[in-house]
Structure 1
Amino acid sequence: MADKPSRALVIYGDGFAPLLNQSHAGLHSLASMGACGFLALRASAPAPPSASGGQPSREIRELSQLLDAYDSLDALVRPLAMFMGLRAALFTAGSSVGSFARKLGFRLLEIDELVKKEALPVESSMASELLSLLGLSGGKVSEKSDVDLVVLHIRAGQELRALKDKVAINAGVDWLDGLVSTLLRAAQPGSEVAARLHFSVVLTFGDVAEDEGKNPSALISPTRNDSDLSLLRPCQSYCMKGGKRLDNIRHHHPMLVAQWQEGVTRRDSAEEFSFEEFQERGGNLAILADRFLHELAFKLWKAPKYGA
């Protein structure tokens, strides 16, 4: 545990997980430095209806699980209120995601606010602004910050526009890898920033058909649910919430998560950002996606350790 509260940056990449390859050195570097694992999702059966009465999209369903709002998709429910004054901001170019985040109590910011100067590489400008919001600027740590948590939401292949359309960004996996590399350079081991920044990258598989769960390379559970052996296997912790078993867990294609903060996160033996590597060498295995925000709030000194 750090002697001061962390400040958290989360990059949430929707649909990026299947696009990674050996050339993405920034993402692989993060995985090799930090703690890696899976965030288990619910199956694609319709979620509880939102306050408007409609069914939320796949993107909103998955994001709501990451922010522990899935079981009560209602405008009056604000999960951030559980975390002792946690101040959180979310950047997105998606209007539906932005509206949803605002209802949950996030300060909504536009991607345009991250690109301040045409002269700088886009990745450098965005990294600088993201860290500045957290009071981490110029390699120094300010005692005050605008927020405690920043979430950057990006869809794979999305076109981002900034500076009144003077700058167009194709948010592909190569661009994401460059942004992660830039952020890691700003948080060199041994620096003040590395000691206070809790950096997470969460990547999803995007649209997944239920029959894709038959692919053994994407299964969290090594035992098939329809086999006799499944009767002997204890219920996994990622299938539980609030002491109750969840029957709608998707045992395949989870979110992939890598987290790093110098002196705080464990370093496992994973060397690459991939499903296979996390399954074989990741230290965190699988937890329910709903637990992610709680674990993060603990690092920010905004919540007790989950289960304590």
Structure 2
Amino acid sequence: MADKPSRALLLYGDGLARSINPSHTHLHSFASRACCCFLSLPHSPPSETEDARIVREFAELVDANEAYLALNEEESSETQSTEKHVVPTISERFMGMKAAVITENLRLKSFCDKLGFIVLELNEVISSINNQVDSSTLACEVFKLLGFQEGKTLESSQFDLVILHVGAGQTTNCLKDLDHVNRLVGTLVQMAHPGTEVGSRLHMSVILSYGAVREADDSTFPIVDTRHENNSKLSFIFPRQSYTIKEGIPRLNVRQHCPMLVAQWQNAVTRKDMAEAYSYKDFKEYGANLVIPTDRFLHEVAFKLWKAPKYGA
């Protein structure tokens, strides 16, 4: 734990995990210095649209699934109730945490606004010329939102947490989705290298998800641990993994494949595992945190920001 509250940046590549390849060297380098794991998700509802999936999985990521379901029910109800569901804001839930989401997705913007996030578009963060957004300039502007300027840490910041959402097919500075994330990660790590003030206060996470699942994915990207299945003598004492439990009760809806992949890094704060590449294979074999429920992730980050009273609370 740091001696001062961290400030967090989360790069979320929505549906981009399938696109990772050896050419994304900055992502692999980041994973090699980070603590890596999987975030488990629930199953997708039948006939779910892509926009609905994007918002639902983001809601899981910020532990706002109940708010998502309640707001959906209000929108689909034929007889609108005079009593609207009151959604606790991100600030109310996490000890006054100031948080922003940068996204181009219209439905996600609306949902985040209802959760109390300050919602920004890229052109509000950086003045682009001919729709060109240089990764160095974008990194500087994102750091400014977190109170990092010219390698120094300001006493106060506009936000404690900034989430940059990049969707599949999104093009920035002529770079398609994951290529943009890869270059941005390289720039951010270079600017926050160990020994700098930024490096000691920045808690940085990179999350890539698989997006809409396919029929073959359950066998291609499984997370369930089957080591006990071949040993009948041990099967009855093999412990249930914690990601399948909530408040002491088994979770009934856990998708055992296609998790989110997450790598977290803060110099001298997060531990380093043996993963050397940002990949499903490396995370499964060498990830230090194994699998945690997606709806617990933000609580872990908030603890680093001194905005949650207990790790994982």
**What TM-score does the superposition give when structure 2 sets the normalisation length?**
0.87
* Cα distance, 1:140–1:307 mapped onto 2, change above 3 Å: closer
* Cα distance, 1:212–1:85 mapped onto 2, change above 3 Å: same
Q: Distance in 1 between matches of 2:66 and 2:46?
A: 11
Matched, 1:240 2:248: no
Quote the RMSD (CA, aligned, Å): 2.6
2:222 maps to which of 213, 219, 222 = 219
SS in 2 for 1:304: coil
Tell me how far 1:206 sits from its aligned partner: 1.1
Partner of 2:97: 86
* Cα distance, 1:142–1:237 mapped onto 2, change above 3 Å: same
Structure number with higher strand proportion: 1
The residue type equivalent to 2:136 in the other structure is S
* Cα distance, 1:200–1:31 mapped onto 2, change above 3 Å: same
Tell me how far 1:196 sits from its aligned partner: 0.2
The residue type equivalent to 1:96 in the other structure is R
Partner of 1:65: 60
Aligned length: 294
Tell me how far 1:72 sits from its aligned partner: 3.4
Deviations 1:98-127 (A, max 9, x none): 111111110011111233254996111111
**What TM-score does the superposition give when structure 1 sets the normalisation length?**
0.88
Contact (CA 8 Å) 1:67, 1:79: kept in 2 or not? no
Q: Distance in 2 between matches of 1:129 and 1:291?
A: 28
Counting only pairs closer than 5 Å after superposition, residues 182-201 of structure 1 correspond to structure 2 as: 182-201=187-206
Partner of 1:114: 125
Structure 1 runs (4+) greater than 3 angstroms displaced = 117-121, 168-171, 224-233
1:272 maps to which of 264, 271, 277 = 277
Tell me how far 1:61 sits from its aligned partner: 1.4
Matched, 1:145 2:157: yes
Tell me how far 1:62 sits from its aligned partner: 0.8
Contact (CA 8 Å) 1:157, 1:170: kept in 2 or not? no
Gaps of 5+ in 1: 161-167
Q: Distance in 1 between matches of 2:161 and 2:105?
A: 19
Tell me how far 1:171 sits from its aligned partner: 3.3
Contact (CA 8 Å) 1:159, 1:169: kept in 2 or not? yes
Tell me how far 1:70 sits from its aligned partner: 1.1
Percent of aligned pairs with the same amino acid? 47
Tell me how far 1:23 sits from its aligned partner: 1.5
The residue type equivalent to 2:106 in the other structure is S
Contact (CA 8 Å) 2:210, 2:259: kept in 1 or not? yes
Contact (CA 8 Å) 1:13, 1:204: kept in 2 or not? yes
Q: Distance in 1 between matches of 2:89 and 2:216?
A: 33
Partner of 1:165: none
